[in-house]
Amino acid sequence: VKPLDSFALKHSGGELLVLDQRQLPDLEIWLRCDSPAAMTTMIKDLAIRGAPLIGVGAALALAKFAEAGASPTALQQAAAMLRAARPTAVNLMAAMDRMLAAMDHLVATAEEIFSEDAALCERLGDNGQQLIADGDGVLTHCNAGQLATAGIGTALGVIYKAFSRGRRLHVFADETRPLLQGARLTAYELQKWEIPHTLICDNMAAVLMAAGRIQKVFVGADRIARNGDFANKIGTYGVAVLAKHHGIPFYVVAPHTTIDFACADGAGIPVEQRDAEEVRGAAGAFGKVSWAPPGCDTFNPAFDVTPAALVSGYVLDSGFFPVMPSA
Ligand code: MRU
């Protein structure tokens, strides 16, 4: 595998390196990934996350395994293990399918998946940036930026492109309970980019919308069904309902690797359920805190499904579409 460089995933000095997103923003620690099993654990534990980036990371882990001389059977088993690491983001499955269809050139295919993802982000940014007007307040949920892709991101990539073309804008970042991707990751990225932003708790979006401070919403996706229903980080659906009530355009930004044409509608999207401890408290570089009675019952879906009827448009790498285009 040749040297590769992105914000949260690198191949350098012959090693596959993952920026440990669990420790951000306090610590910037790069983890060495030496096997498909290690990558599977990192994906499950969210050391690496974001729909496009887990696909890219899994592909590179498989390529390294091939380079080390793994047999076709071992490669197939490793691909199956990586594919099952998380169930919702279809980019992971798409990347593994593409790798398995290219068994005799796995290294070149993984390198292609990496560089294509960065190029797709550029196109998304170009296709979406004109939706942001000078002076807009823009809300985003979770993290759909450089920490979620091998490039500038999807929803955040659109914002970045509008900003870098001189549009004055202000980003409101939902903190995104329970794992705080908005606070820990999106605010961290926006600070690095020097884009004006305000971090809010998830329950503060409605009041800002009512006050006329938010003109557009941009979110990423983990899987878009054929009819335009899509899964994204838990809380996205609530934001879409709020936006509809306030007459605020709500846009989904995603590369074609996030579209699942085999899935007719949102009911067919598998939603990952995660550990109760994520809701009972929080953990990070600061340690671990609990604020709920030990063992208390929780509900912790990692994603929700937003119906297409709440979506004002899809920013795809092939263009902007007010309704989801057919294959
Ligand atoms: O659980 P996560 O942090 O992997 O969830 C990520 C999201 O929901 C993102 O919005 C989505 O993957 C799109 S990232 C370009």
Q: Per residue in 7-60, pLDDT tens?
A: 999 999 999 999 999 999 999 999 999 999 999 999 999 999 999 999 999 999
* Residue closest by Cα to atom 7 of ligand 1: 233
> Residue 197 is inside which H or E element, if any?
strand 197-200
| Strands 216-219 and 136-140, sheet pairing | parallel
Can you give the pLDDT at residue 327? 75
The share of the chain scoring above pLDDT 70, in percent, equals: 100
Kindly indicate the confidence band of residue 151, based on its pLDDT and cuts at 50, 70 and 90: very high
- Give the torsion sign (CA, 220, 226, 228, 233): negative
pLDDT classification of 176: cutoffs 50, 70, 90: very high
Do 142 and 219 touch, CB atoms closer than 8 A?
Answer: yes
C-alpha to C-alpha distance for 296 and 309, rounded to whole angstroms: 36
Closest CA to 49 of 162, 138, 179: 179
Contacts of 263 (CB under 8 A, 6+ apart): 90, 223, 225, 226, 269
Instruction: Kindly state the average pLDDT of the residues 195-220.
Output: 98
Mutate to test the pocket of ligand 1, among 222, 223, 274 (most ligand atoms within 8 A of CB): 222
pTM (2 d.p.): 0.98
Catalytic site residue from 117, 174, 222, 229: 222
**Letter for the amino acid at 305?**
V
Q: What is the pLDDT of residues 75-108, one digit of tens each?
A: 999 999 999 999 999 999 999 999 999 999 999 9
263 pLDDT tier (thresholds 50, 70, 90): very high
Mutate to test the pocket of ligand 1, among 143, 218, 230, 316 (most ligand atoms within 8 A of CB): 143
Q: What is the pLDDT of residue 318?
A: 97
The alpha carbon of 222 and the centre of ligand 1 are apart by a number of angstroms equal to: 6
Mean pLDDT (whole number) for 303-311 = 98
The pLDDT of residue 65 is 98
Q: In terms of C-beta density within 10 A (0-12 exposed, 13-18 middle, 19 or more buried), how is residue 255 classed? A: buried
Check if 134 is active-site. Answer: no
Helix ranges (DSSP H) in 129-246: 155-164, 181, 187-193, 205-210, 236-246
**In the structure, which protein residues have their CB atom closer than 6 angstroms to any atom of ligand 1?**
49-52, 89, 142, 144, 148-149, 153-154, 181, 220-222, 232-233, 302
- Measured in Å, residue 72 CA sits from the centre of ligand 1 at 31
Q: Output the average pLDDT for the chain.
A: 98
